[in-house]
Amino acid sequence: MHKRNKITVIGAGNVGASTAQRILDMRLGDVALVDVVDGVPQGKGLDLLESFPILGLSGDIIGTSSYDETAGSDVIIITAGLARKPGMSRDDLLAANAKIVAECTKQAAPLSPDAVIIVVTNPMDVMAYVAAQVSGFPKERVIGMGGVLDAARMRTFISIEMGVSVENTNAFVLGGHGDQMVPLPRYSTIAGIPITELMSEDSINGIVERTRTGGAEIVELLKTGSAYYAPAASAAEMARAIVLDQKKILPCSVFLTGQYGQSGMYAGVPVALGAGGAEELFEVKLTAAEQEAFNASCEAVKKGQESTGF
Ligand SMILES: NC(=O)c1ccc[n+]([C@@H]2O[C@H](COP(=O)([O-])OP(=O)(O)OC[C@H]3O[C@@H](n4cnc5c(N)ncnc54)[C@H](O)[C@@H]3O)[C@@H](O)[C@H]2O)c1
């Protein structure tokens, strides 16, 4: 009999539980939801299972503190770790989260040796590197989620500013998922037209800045944690591209080996996502200023990577 797809979500907090819910709603497969806090994954898992009769879902969701139940997963999404509080940068989470991500990867990867790992935990590009080192998986099967969210935020702001349907918008964001990310207005469009043709420089600068600080904006509002609805939708979108082998081009954090003039670190670039993970990387021409901004973003990630000791 054909085996159903299986997706493991590690960390049953705000992002993890919302990601599990999205994945179930999208009918991508069975879900194993793991957390260290006993009772939380079990409770959320059972709660989600009890929504199946109403939503007409079948398949399975299991909440657990044991990695045994994750065996044979096609996709592993790592959301375990601390989230930002007001005033904190993503990098402030580095040391504590590196330990957590290493621990989760060490337990999950051997049980699902063919899986694609999607890393969400911040600082995400550095954490993707940690997961890649600890799992020993080929780098194309360890991918970070950041660009999908950053591009979604930029699209939202373009749509608000121009008063047009968000469906008509496209956004392009490169680089690390940190304060130095590189939104690229020249490659961001409304109905295929670059926004540089349609909007004033001031409006564009405002959108670029709001995209860069989009995470912090939510942290300041929530005060007790960081964003999770859009991050969960982003992680689920990546899981769908992998599970359905869509070859969908999405901005993802991948290990660079010379692309865009950079190598040896994870950074966000456009990638075709399919069953094999990051199956193809796409390079576009950058202006000198864009390249400089991309290099600075990559340098910041590299520094973080080196500080982890992995
Ligand atoms: N990449 C992105 O775009 C993006 C977006 C949003 C959030 N994040 C990051 O995602 C992470 C999770 O955010 P959140 O809002 O869900 O936080 P949260 O505090 O709600 O949930 C984190 C969960 O991780 C669990 N956890 C901690 N250590 C663990 C371990 N060793 N094994 C298993 N589970 C463990 C905690 O018990 C908790 O339930 C944070 O690092 C946050 O910064 C990234």
For tokens 């007409």, name the residue. 56
What pLDDT does 1 receive? 75
pTM of the full predicted structure? Answer: 0.98
Q: What is the predicted pLDDT for the residue at 286? A: 96
**CB of 120 shorter than 6 A to ligand 1:** yes
Q: Which atom of ligand 1 is nearest to the CA of 234?
A: 3
H helix runs in 213-287, sequence order: 214-222, 229-243
DSSP secondary structure code for residue 4 in this structure? P
3-state helix, strand, coil in the chain (%, to 5): 50, 20, 30
Tell me how far CA of residue 23 lies from CA of 150, 162, 301, in angstroms: 20, 31, 29
Probe target for ligand 1 pocket from 105, 122, 179, 237, with the most ligand atoms within 8 Å of CB: 122
- Among 38, 69, 79, say which to mutate for ligand 1: greatest number of ligand atoms within 8 Å of CB: 79
Q: Of 25, 3, 295, nearest to 176 (Cα)? A: 295
Provide the strand spans (E) within the chain: 6-10, 30-34, 61-64, 75-78, 116-119, 142-144, 169-170, 173-174, 182-183, 189-190, 193-194, 248-257, 263-274, 277-281
Task: Give me the amino acid identity at 155.
Answer: R
User: Among candidates 182, 196, 187, which has minimal Cα distance to 150?
Assistant: 182
C-beta 81 within 6 A of ligand 1: yes
Q: Say what the pLDDT of residue 9 is.
A: 99
CA of 290 to the centre of ligand 1 (A): 31
Q: What is the pLDDT of residue 124?
A: 97
178 lines ligand 1 (CB under 6 A): no
Burial class (CB in 10 A: 0-12, 13-18, 19+), 105: buried
Start-to-end C-alpha separation, the chain: 41
- Would you say 124 and 175 are in contact if contact means Cβ atoms under 8 Å apart? no
Which residue has 């992998």 as its token pair? 242
Paired strand residues for 183: 173
Q: Is 2 a catalytic residue?
A: no
Ligand 1 atom at minimum distance from 124 CA: 1
Q: How far is the CA of 119 from the centre of ligand 1 (A)?
A: 10
Q: Is the CB of 19 under 6 A from ligand 1?
A: no
Would you say 115 and 75 are in contact if contact means Cβ atoms under 8 Å apart? yes
DSSP 8-state code for residue 2: P
| C-alpha 232 chain-centroid distance | 8
Query: Residue 29, SS3?
Result: coil
Task: Say which residues have a Cβ less than 8 Å from residue 138's Cβ, sequence separation at least 6.
Answer: 277
Residue nearest to atom 31 of ligand 1 (CA): 100
Closest atom of ligand 1 to 40 CA is: 39
Query: Which pLDDT belongs to residue 51?
Result: 98
Confirm or reject: Cβ of 79 under 6 Å from ligand 1.
yes
Tell me how far the alpha carbon of residue 205 lies from the centroid of ligand 1, in angstroms.
Answer: 31
Contact call for residues 156 and 166 (beta carbons, < 8 A):
yes
Per-residue pLDDT at 45: 98
Count other Cβ atoms within 10 Å, centred on residue 56: 7
Say yes or no: CB of residue 80 within 6 Å of ligand 1.
yes
For the stretch 113-141, pLDDT in tens is 999 999 999 999 999 999 999 999 999 99
* Residue 297 beta carbon below 6 angstroms from any ligand 1 atom: no
**pLDDT digit of tens for each residue in the chain (310 aa)?**
788 999 999 999 999 999 999 999 999 999 999 999 999 999 999 999 999 999 999 989 999 999 999 999 999 999 999 988 888 888 889 999 999 999 999 999 999 999 999 999 999 999 999 999 999 999 999 999 999 999 999 999 999 999 999 999 999 999 999 889 999 999 999 999 999 999 999 999 999 999 999 999 999 999 999 999 999 999 999 999 999 999 999 999 999 999 999 999 999 999 999 999 999 999 999 999 999 999 999 999 999 999 999 9
> Is residue 267 within 8 Å of 256, Cβ to Cβ?
yes
Ligand 1 atom having least distance to the Cα of 231: 5
Could you give the CA distance from residue 218 to residue 229 in angstroms, rounded to a whole number? 11
Write down the pLDDT at residue 246.
98
Tell me what pLDDT residue 90 has: 87
84 Cα nearest atom in ligand 1: 43
The greatest distance separating any two alpha carbons of the chain, rounded to the nearest whole angstrom, comes to 58
User: Cα(51) to centroid of ligand 1, in Å?
Assistant: 24
- Tokens at residue 258, please? 């010379």
